[in-house]
Amino acid sequence: MIESHFQEWLALLIRWGHMIAGIAWIGASFYFNWLENQLERRTGEDIAGDLWAVHGGGFYYLQKYAVAPPDMPRHLHWFKWEAYATWISGLALLIVVYYWDARSFMLNPSVADISEALAITIGLASLALSWTWYDLLCRSPLARSPLAFSAAMLAWFGLLAFVLGGLLSGRAAYIHVGAAIGTIMVANVFRVIIPAQKELVSALEQNRAPDPGPGQNALQRSRHNNYLTLPVLFIMISSHYPMTYGHPQAWLVLVVISVAGVLVRHYFNIRHQAGRSWAWLLAGLLLLAVMAWWSRPQAVAGADSVGPRVSTASAWRIVNARCVACHAREPSNAGFSSAPQGIELDSVDMLRVHAERVYTAVVITRTMPLGNLTNMTEQERTQLANWFEGFQAGHTREPGADD
């Protein structure tokens, strides 16, 4: 109990730091990409563009050089530690939340019978392979075609989500796709963007003409990072929404929502330009609407809305045996010091309060019990489905009634 208490506090503090660093990094990315798109362009000059802005009660004037200024400025601000802090804290959070209790959060015995060590190895390998594939694509002729490049990256992440979904739990599959995207983004900063900026600074200090090539590559990678932000932000919050990672085609749900995020991001990048930029926003929102309809809960095989009812007493006996170890005021599962998401099920009354959430998690998305640690059977899931059908219709017998 004490260990789980401190584990939750550790996860809380790391998650908080991860969010702070992520907001700083993504905020800077959004701002500089917006700035790049809003510059008043110049041609035939050392200045590539400039911009007037008003904020916080004052005016600002910004200039972007075509390559570099004639002299090294006394104070030069770098934007890199936000990215590094986000990735480091994200990896720490992955370890504390998922790898520390891999049996609960990484494994899904119904899809693959693998060890905790193998699941962790698969997760870490997905990060390295994703960066390798992405970097090779960026260095290939395919990078000169944004459409072809985007299709290749979409195919990779779709394949990754599909493969991980067949080996790990739904939550773990999603979070590792997100971690893979985050790894690509921070590797872009560490291996391409910052080295290009250091080359510009070095050339200026040595009084030699800078090579514009690295800067152009850095700008391309920065734009890639900008488009990847909304998908990775969705994945960060997806663990709260089991109808996504718990869907039978969870990989497809992830792909479609991510594409919608990219389309929405593109709208914000070009909305001040001429043309019908709103069409990109409309397309993204339409994809989300289609996915919300397509992923709606379906009738559960075996559940009979007109057949024999299951009493609330019988349903609670199943929940008490399979769920209350975690979902109680004082959990007996050593991995929890309090009920996950505050859902306590250690009484019949609390089962009634959380009836729909129990039904969704146990029957529809099948994401509970975690890793099926308590060995809930298919018959028990069907009984809970039949109980909820009657409960929802007001036909369920009260505790103490004969089954």
Residues 220 and 329 in one domain: no
Total of domains in the chain: 2
Residues 220 and 321 in one domain: no
Residues 88 and 224 in one domain: yes
| Residue 42 confidence (pLDDT) | 78
Within-domain flag for 304: no
Residues 316 and 237 in one domain: no
Q: Which residue among 241, 263, 285 closes a domain? A: 241
| Residue 274 confidence (pLDDT) | 62
Within-domain flag for 54: yes
Within-domain flag for 212: yes
Within-domain flag for 153: yes
Give the integer Cα–Cα distance in Å for 79 and 267. 25
| Residue 399 confidence (pLDDT) | 44
Residues 170 and 63 in one domain: yes
| Residue 142 confidence (pLDDT) | 92
Within-domain flag for 266: no
> In angstroms, what CA-CA distances link 91 with 9, 40, 230?
16, 40, 19
Q: Which residue among 207, 241, 275 closes a domain? A: 241
Within-domain flag for 228: yes
DSSP 396: P
- Cα torsion for 353, 375, 97, 118, to the nearest 10°? -160
Give the integer Cα–Cα distance in Å for 272 and 283. 18
| Residue 402 confidence (pLDDT) | 39
Decide: residue 100, CB within 10 A, 0-12 exposed, 13-18 middle, 19+ buried.
middle
Residues 192 and 330 in one domain: no
Residues 15 and 105 in one domain: yes
Within-domain flag for 35: yes
Within-domain flag for 272: no
Alpha helices in 146-245 (DSSP H): 146-165, 170-188, 194-205, 212-238, 242-245
**Relative orientation angle of helices 81-93 and 170-188, to the nearest 10 degrees:** 160
Report the chain's C-alpha Rg in angstroms.
26
| Residue 302 confidence (pLDDT) | 56
Residues 56 and 182 in one domain: yes
Range of the domain at 137: 2-68+78-241
Q: pLDDT for 41-98, tens place per residue?
A: 877 678 889 999 999 999 999 988 887 787 888 888 888 999 999 999 999 999 999 9
Residues 105 and 236 in one domain: yes
Q: What is the mean pLDDT of each run of 10 residues along the chain (403 residues)?
A: 79 94 91 85 82 93 84 85 96 94 87 93 97 96 93 96 95 96 97 91 83 86 93 94 90 97 92 80 96 81 60 89 88 80 86 88 86 86 88 60 41
Q: Which residue among 213, 241, 269 closes a domain? A: 241
